[in-house]
Amino acid sequence: MRQTRIRPMVEGGLLAAVAIMFAIVSAYVPIIGPFVNLIWPVPIVLLGVRHGYKWSIMATVVSGIIIAMLLHPLQSVSVVVGFGLIGIVLGYTFRMQYSATKTMLWGTMASIISKAALFAIGIMVTGVNPFGMENEAMAKAMEQAIEVYRSFGIPEQNLAQMSESMQVMINLLKIILPSGFVMASIVDTYLNFIIAKTVLKKLGHFVPNFPPFKKWILPSYIVYFFALSLVMIYWGNTREITMLYNIGMNIEVLASVLLLIEGLSLFYYAVDKYNLSRMVKGIILVLILSNGFFTQMVVIAGAVDTILDYRRLKAPRESK
């Protein structure tokens, strides 16, 4: 019994030390620091997979205390609150051998909760709304950009149009900021998923894989959410219901990104089916990602494929 407890204690101590080292690197190394900060949950994930979520929780708490002593309490809060829950949840889902999709879903939810908690703590500690600060920074950046263009001799009439366009963009960014947080949560969860999966495979653990990208398929209700968002945007705009409009915009952004991924998956399927060359594939990808019209066409293709299932990837419904 004692031997069974010594091993997780030793590994917990080592992985907690790695997490502490990650925090120090993220605080003092300017170039790779932000990236190391994103993968801070990986040691917590490994400990959770090997010995259970109780040990990963313990390591997270111990790491937070030592980081607060070595660096600063706010640094500890930003790391532990911002990323600790992701590591605990991913470790648990890996240990329970959830599917890759379910693991990503739970990890993304944990990341969203962590970001919301960190945001709330930031407001309570500083008394300043970060969104307001970001808006001020955007406004100053816009003024500086206009001054640069003015120094190039651009007419004031054109500068006024540019300023108006930039202001519209800033207002749009303010509205879709919540969807930006969700997408950021998906990205950092996926990053930790990939790195933890690579390490766990080398350690001999079973880790569920995503299917090949050309076989990705989304549930049909994503299209219904997309259609609902368009209705919400229309009603919110015509009836001047700001909250309805803002919610619709955020749903539309998230649904569009998901349908874009679906459309790109369909594109990769077509590339493989018709044996397109790398050059042709690269040119088409550049056009899709750089031209709004082609991007929208891929989104529409993704929506159609989600409903019609052109690749026949969805399991047939069981007959009653």
Q: Long-range contacts of range 288-291, CB-CB < 8 Å, 24 or more positions apart?
A: 288/264
Residue of 302, 182, 165 lying closest to 250 (CA atoms): 182
Residues 104-133, mean pLDDT to the nearest whole number:
81
Show Cβ contacts of residue 292 under 8 Å, excluding neighbours closer than 6 positions. none
Task: For 72-101, write each residue's pLDDT tens digit.
Answer: 888 888 888 889 999 999 999 999 989 998
- pLDDT score at 45: 93
Stretch 204-220: mean pLDDT: 87
The domain limits of the chain are 2-126+179-202, 128-175, 213-308
CATH entry, 2-126+179-202, from 1.10.1760.20, 3.10.20.740, 3.10.150.10, 2.40.128.90: 1.10.1760.20
Q: How far apart are CA 162 and CA 283, in angstroms?
A: 30
Q: Please state the pTM of the whole predicted model.
A: 0.82
Task: Summarize the confidence of residues 201-208 as an average pLDDT.
Answer: 85
In the numeric block, which tokens belong to residue 60? 């997270």
Written as one string, the DSSP assignment of 47-91 is HHHHH-HHHHHHHHHHHHHHHHHHT-HHHHHHHHHHHHHHHHHHH
Is the pLDDT at 57 greater than 50, yes or no? yes
